[in-house]
Structure formats: structure tokens, C-alpha cells
Structure 1
Amino acid sequence: MKLFEKLFRPRPPIRDREALADFIDAQSAFIVQKGIFEYSRARAGHYAKVLFAEEGFARSVELARWQAFPLGLAMVGEMVDVVLRPHAGADRRAVLDRIIMVVLSVFDRYPVPPSIGEAGWQEARRELERRLDLVGGHAPKRVMDIPDPLAESYFAMMPIHEKLRGRDFDTTRNYLRISLCNIHDELIERIDAAAVTGALLK
């Protein structure tokens, strides 16, 4: 009974900055990590358990996870802007600036991954900030289109040799599109957009 209640318990509403940060954190990690693990298992087939048990492959997966995390933050951060922009009015640039601060605060929750190093991690942070800053220069995208500029970089991070990837790019891009649309639907269901916009502007 407790398990049933846990599975079907309503997820908490998002009404403030901290709740928004937690949502961005969890969903950004989910979208990139799920894709990495599922793609790797699919390509390995019956040998997936053996492959994941190998120390060298485990290191490659760990590197891919941390390399891809900023891409997840960029996608989810832009999607949050799509949701909040209609509530921002004349303050839409100010709201985007606050969203960027929230996303970067999520990035800063984590210590430097040893597989990437200090210089690489700080460069990833700068690139994340740059990507989010560019969001203010164009009209809001359809949510399904947000992953498109990042999909190729994400696919290149897969811990599978490029010669074994075949023609899987379109599948990976579609995975990102569908996953981000699902994350968007959950955000719409949980967020009090007016309250969060007000909280960001305080």
C-alpha cells in the first residue's frame, strides 16, 4: 500500500525559486542520462550487462553523463523560459536573466567532475550561460524544436564508438524532442507560473 501511495502521490507544486531549481536539476539529469543509458544498452544488445560491468566503459559513461548535463540544463532552461515568458510582460528579459541565474545555481551545486577537470567544467558553465543568453534574442521556440541545435553534440557524447552508432542520430534527436515535451507537460501541470515569475523578479 505504501508503495502504491508513493507511486501515485501528486508531485509537489512549483511556486518558488527553489522548487524551480530542483525541477530543473532533476529533469536535466534525467533527460541526458536516460538517453545515454538506453542508447548504450540498445547498441550493446545481449552484451549490455557485460559492457556496463567493464571499468573502461563505466568511465566512458561517467564522462558522457557530466559532459551532457550542461546540455540538459540548456534545454530545460530554455523550456522554462517558454513557459514563463507569457507571464513576464515587459519584464521578459529580466525574467530570463533570473532563469539563467537559477540554471547556473543548479550547475554550481556539483563539484568539478574529475573526468572533465576544472578548466573544462568552467568552460562548460560559460557555454551554458552563453546559450541561455541567446534565448532572449529570438521568439520562443516550439518545445519540440528546442533540442535540435544541441542534438548533434549530445549524440557525439554517447559512450559508443562512432563506427558502431550507425544511423541513430535521428532516433536520438527524436528521443530528446519527446522527452522534453513530456517534461514540459509535467511543468505545466505543477507550476504556478504567475507566482514563480513574481518570485524571480523579487
Structure 2
Amino acid sequence: MSGYMRMGWVRHGLTSWNKAGRIQGLTDVPLSAEGKMQAHRLAYRLTRESWVWNGVVASDLERARTTGQILAERLGIPLLTDERLRERSFGSAEGTTEEERIARWGKEWRKSVPDQEQDASVRARARDFVEEFSERHAGESWLVVTHGSFLAQMLFALETGVDDKHILNLSLTILDRENGRWKALLHNCTEHLNDSYV
């Protein structure tokens, strides 16, 4: 893995389940009106910045794909989808609230849900995507629209050294690859969602 590459990682916009605190995983919940507005605000920000993006690649789940579509249309760049960018499956926890998860599996529910995709699997999937995509698009800059838990595991897998605890909806994290190492230029940034941002 060598050569320059820039990836702008975006967590999809808000959904009704995000708002209600329900975990989504592979459940294909669409963006809410607020989520679409968030995507338009990020698109507006990106049109005003000097970084040039070659394209958008998004998870094929609707909430990420729609976010990616809004960005691609506003920036006039192509949109691809890749199922390796899907969220982790949370199995029988999907659709439940934090309160319901704690009642069923305890405070350490993240380690206890038996039928969810394991961390190691998510990290392997993330590394596979990043290595293959960045070799194919070496020297380019791409926006990548995916999901919160996937993003946290990806940041860990790439040894970026940034906080991977809670990735905010419609946040932007920009990673550059130089000499085979990924470093963060920007992390979990949502300044475009502030009411003062114009």
C-alpha cells in the first residue's frame, strides 16, 4: 500500500431511528427530512472549500446512498456504491432502544448480542475496502459515505490514532495516505450543521 490518497469519510444523515435511539445495523431505514437537510448543508460546505473531490462511494443501504447522492449531485461528481461499506449487522438488537438493550443483555450489550457481526469481521471488511479502493484510485480524493459503527472500526483498523468512540451524523473525517500510513486532517467535524454556519 503506497502512494497518495485522500478519503473524506462521512456518516450518513439522521433517520427517524437515530432520533428515537433505535439501533439500525442492516435494517434499511431511510433518511428523515432533517437527515436530507444535513446532507445538503455538508454539500454546500464542500462547494465552498478548496478541496477537489473526484467522486463519492457510499454504502448501498438507503440512508447512506441517499446522503451520497445529495453530495454527488451538488458537487457534480460520480456516485458509486459498495456493499463492504454497510453497517455492522446488530442481529437481534436491531430496532431496539438503549434501554431495551440493557434490559435484555446488560450494560455490556455490545459484547453480548450473540448474532451480531464481530469487531474483527468489520475491521477486516474495512481494511479490504480501503486497500482495494485506494489502490484503484491512487492519487485521487474520494468522499466515502458509511455508518457510525463501521466508521469507528475502520478508524481503529487503520491505526489513525483518532478518537473512534462516537461518530456524529453527517460528520466529516478526512484521512490522507502518505508513505503507507493514514493520518487525520480533520475528524468528526460537524461545523456545517451549526446554525451560525453560512
Higher helix share: 1
- Please indicate the TM-score interval, normalised by the length of the shorter structure: under 0.3
Q: TM-score, normalised by structure 2?
A: 0.26
Higher percent of residues as strand: 2
Decide which structure has the larger Cα Rg and report it.
Answer: 1
